[in-house]
Amino acid sequence: MRYAVDGEFERFYLCHCQHCRKDTGSAHAANLFSSQAALRWIAGEDKVTFFNLPGTRHSRNFCSTCGSALPSLQAEGTLLVVPAGSLDTAVSSRPDAHLFVASRAGWDAGLEAIPGVERYPS
């Protein structure tokens, strides 16, 4: 999978809603948003699979080969949503906000105090 984004991101949100937590298997999804940037597929566009959760506004794209989260056009094609972790380049901005904090996982508090290790512990 290879893609390029032509333009700037306007917002960077960490979403804690139950759907994003299920999508990522983690505490939150980290997504960049733009109403003006354009998505350009370089390779692998034929492997993009779209999923919309019935009865909700929740949707996402993912790779049908590896399952990786991929950019998608949402809000009737007017909003580009890019999973921050899918970028090959560094994200220079910090998140603007945590969304749906009422749905935050119970274990997602004070995580910065947990010791860090350089690689998988042996």
Write down the pLDDT at residue 57. Answer: 84
pLDDT digits (tens, 9 = 90+) for 18-57: 999 999 999 999 999 999 999 999 999 999 999 988 888 8
d(CA 15, CA 31): 8
Per CATH, which fold does 2-105 belong to?
glutathione-dependent formaldehyde- activating enzyme (gfa) (3.90.1590)
Unique residue bearing structure tokens 């290790």:
117
Confidence (pTM): 0.90
Whether the pLDDT of residue 77 is over 90: the answer is: no
Write down the pLDDT at residue 53. Answer: 87
Contacts 24+ apart (CB under 8 A), 20-24: 20/58, 20/100, 21/103, 21/105, 23/60, 23/69, 24/69
Write down the pLDDT at residue 8. Answer: 94
The number of beta carbons lying within 10 Å of the beta carbon of residue 55 is 6
Model confidence at 71, in pLDDT bands (50, 70, 90)? very high
